[in-house]
Structure 1
Amino acid sequence: MREDHRTQHLHNHQRNKLSIITTLFTRATAYVAVVLLSYAMGYLSHSSPPQPTQAPPPPPPSVFQLANLPTQLDNFRITAHCSNSPLPPHLVFPTILDRVFNGSSPYTNFPPPHLSPFLKKRRIKSSGSNGAVFEQLIKRVKPKVIVEVGTFLGSSALHMVNVTRKLGLQTQILCLDDFRGWPGFKDIKMINGDVLLLQQFMQNVVYFNATDSVLPVPFSTGSGLEKLCEWGVTADLLEIYSGHDFISAWGDINRAYRILRPGGVIFGHDYFTAADNRGIRRAVNLFAEMNNLKIQTDGHYWVIDTAFAK
């Protein structure tokens, strides 16, 4: 009986000891696990720092901001330099005759006999080139020099001759055009690849007895306007009859503006067309916005009077 009691006591003692060991082991294991977990979390947080929230990229600069950058030249890198000495009006025609026609009038002995059979005495297409806006502007500006950028057969120029004569003005009109028409152009006779558009224009001027008032400048509008600028030619009134696409209109308006005298007027055709705000109207609007100018409209013409800024 005593032996059984001793055995029982031994078993209880061993069970208590095992329980203590198990408890200690469990606590040690938990402690080690906590330490390892803390270490792992610290390692991860150190090796992979939280990424800062990135701000959205700034919007691209507007065309106005680009145009005003100090590295940009005026009017989107038009690099030709204008003369610092503008020509007086009475020297404009002599300068063009000297620089373009070797000092003699292109109307002398015109037309030559070999071209006469191919030219009509009078070949005019008005295409709205006799609108009231011409007389209104000429009365307001009283121009001594008019430059027409894009002239075709000269209907606008010859209408302006009639207006200036009626008003008693001594006005000189330069008609800048390459006189080539366009690919597929068949309205005027062609000889050996040469469309006789310039010759028909000159014939129209001769017919209306306007050779003392109208002079062609037979070059592209880009190169011609740059040369007029270099030679010191300035205009009181500028008419733009450019292509209907944005690029053509934009180039012509910006280059022409450089030869407009301070306070002069620049205007043009076809502000309202099927091209809507993708062609001429877009170019005119952007130009006016960049130069802080107001646009007026008269029918399908746009008018910018530089005497009236925004």
Structure 2
Amino acid sequence: MRAKEDHHRFHHKVNMYITKKLFNNPTAYIILLLLSYALGYLSSPKPHTPPPPSRPRAGAGAGAGAATATSNSTIQLPPSLLDNFRVTTRCAADSVPPQLVRQTIIDRIFNGTSPYVNFPPPHISHLLRRRRIKGWGSYGAVFGNLIDKVRPRVIIEVGSFLGASALHMANLTRQLGLDSQILCIDDFRGWPGFRDKFKDIPMVNGNVLLYFQFLQNVIYQNAIDSVLPVPFSSGSALTKLCEWGVVGDLIEIDAGHDFNSAWADINRAWRILRPGGVIFGHDYFTAADNRGVRRAVNLFAKINGLKVQIDGQHWVIHSAVNA
């Protein structure tokens, strides 16, 4: 028993001696510290690494809005690829009746007074032309074809500029005896540098007068009862129409021509398209090829299982026609 105690006492003295030497020697202390860290790291449990997203697989069924339809097959996309495309704004449960759409916009945006009342203001009138209507692809056959087929009570145009296509649609609905309201969504700011091409559009204190010239054009065409501006960005305007319950039978997309702008406008506009309605737009064939509007349109159609039809330079998607 005594021998065992002497043995433990001897080992204790040895350990104390080694510890004292290590702490008095900085190099040895650092080596011991690094060894301890390495042993602790190696012995710790490994974090769980999720498997990489599965590759798209042909022949999968549609699921949770993530299905991509093609002419030959259906592809199941990983949901994570669609996360950034979701729009979470809640739309009104009930839609505004077509006959109340005009007054709803006037009340909510213009404080109850039509923007055409007492127009133009004296300090602007001398700067406006009686008529300055300009657009691109604004008189294509697609407008008459769709209006004749859909017979829309409410038309929503995203991207109006000086109102050429809106006024053309107003004339077409009038010829068909339709009581249609056309809402023109545009911030009426043009784009940086647009006045290099439109030098006759005046500017006052840095504010280009596109909006006032648009109103003047509508008055000149005697279309104030059927054409109403919604002078905000497409994103904010479409979001609010959704919240207010304003829906369209026919929606034209012709604002930003890059992929991101077109993609956002199409997705937001689709949410306020009345069931059975039609959404369409310009610039399907441009120098941007499949990097701009066309890419956005095709991707939207694939994801939602819809068919893209072509009418001249315009793309057309009928909500009631699947691919």
Q: Aligning the two structures, in what range does the TM-score lie when normalised by the shorter sequence?
A: 0.7 to 0.9
The AA in structure 2 aligned to 1:213 is S
Contact kept? 2:259, 2:293, Cα under 8 Å:
yes
Contact kept? 2:56, 2:78, Cα under 8 Å:
no
1:58: Cα distance to partner? Answer: 6.7
Contact kept? 2:186, 2:233, Cα under 8 Å:
yes
Contact kept? 2:53, 2:78, Cα under 8 Å:
no
Correspondence for 1:149: 158
The AA in structure 1 aligned to 2:178 is L
Task: Confirm or deny that 1:289 pairs with 2:308.
Answer: no
Give the SS at the match of 2:295: helix
Pairs aligned (count): 253
Correspondence for 1:85: 94
Alpha-carbon distance in structure 1 between the residues aligned to 2:236 and 2:135:
26
**Change in CA separation of 1:289 and 1:99 when aligned onto 2, cut-off 3 Å:** same
Alpha-carbon distance in structure 2 between the residues aligned to 1:58 and 1:171:
48
Moved over 4 A (4+): 56-67
Correspondence for 1:274: 287
Correspondence for 1:139: 148
- 5+ residue gaps, structure 1: 1-55
Task: Confirm or deny that 1:259 pairs with 2:278.
Answer: no
Give the SS at the match of 2:322: coil
Alpha-carbon distance in structure 2 between the residues aligned to 1:124 and 1:179:
14
Q: Give the TM-score taking structure 1 as reference length.
A: 0.78
1:57: Cα distance to partner? Answer: 7.0
Correspondence for 1:12: none
1:183: Cα distance to partner? Answer: 1.1
**202, 205, 209: which one aligns with 1:196:** 209
CA RMSD of aligned residues (A): 2.0
1:242: Cα distance to partner? Answer: 2.2
Alpha-carbon distance in structure 2 between the residues aligned to 1:244 and 1:126:
14
Alpha-carbon distance in structure 2 between the residues aligned to 1:72 and 1:287:
11
Alpha-carbon distance in structure 2 between the residues aligned to 1:210 and 1:121:
14
Give CA deviations for 1:19-71 in whole Å, capped at 9, x if unaligned.
xxxxxxxxxxxxxxxxxxxxxxxxxxxxxxxxxxxxx97765698655746x9
Task: Confirm or deny that 1:175 pairs with 2:184.
Answer: yes
Alpha-carbon distance in structure 1 between the residues aligned to 2:286 and 2:82:
32
**Change in CA separation of 1:164 and 1:114 when aligned onto 2, cut-off 3 Å:** same
Identity between Structure 1 and Structure 2 (%): 67
Correspondence for 1:165: 174
The AA in structure 2 aligned to 1:123 is R
The AA in structure 1 aligned to 2:185 is L
Contact kept? 1:179, 1:197, Cα under 8 Å:
yes
1:185: Cα distance to partner? Answer: 2.5
Q: Give the TM-score taking structure 2 as reference length.
A: 0.75
Correspondence for 1:28: none
Q: Which has the larger radius of gyration?
A: 1
The AA in structure 2 aligned to 1:203 is Q
Correspondence for 1:103: 112
Contact kept? 1:67, 1:76, Cα under 8 Å:
no
Give the SS at the match of 1:164: helix
Give the SS at the match of 1:147: strand
**Change in CA separation of 1:270 and 1:72 when aligned onto 2, cut-off 3 Å:** closer
Higher RCO (CA-CA < 8 Å; seq separation 6+): 2
Give the SS at the match of 1:80: coil
